[in-house]
Amino acid sequence: MRLKINGKERQYPEPISLEELLQQLGIERQGLVVELNREILPLERLAEIELKDNDALELIQFVGGG
């Protein structure tokens, strides 16, 4: 299955949930915004979303500091 993550194509086995993908990438939920196929998703829905071939994801993580 091909996924486009932040503009870069990657291959993953099927099936994979969005939650599993984030775990594999080592991305924490805190300060995270997830856009799937141009739709911003609520974080509480991540575990229920199964990704499909050619899905496009934008993962944006906000980092505080000064």
Per-residue pLDDT tens digits for 5-57: 999 999 998 889 999 999 999 998 889 999 999 999 999 988 899 999 999 99
Which residues are CB-contacts of 49 (< 8 A; sequence separation ≥ 6)? Answer: 17, 18, 19, 36, 41
In the predicted structure, residue 2 carries a pLDDT above the cut 70: yes
Domain boundaries along the sequence of the chain: 2-61
Task: Give me the pLDDT at residue 14, please.
Answer: 84
In the predicted structure, residue 3 carries a pLDDT above the cut 90: yes
Q: How does pLDDT run across 40-51, given as a tens digit for each residue?
A: 999 998 889 999
Q: Residues 6, 58: contact at Cβ < 8 Å?
A: yes
Model pTM score: 0.87
In this structure, whether the domain defined by 2-61 belongs to CATH 2.120.10.80 is answered with no
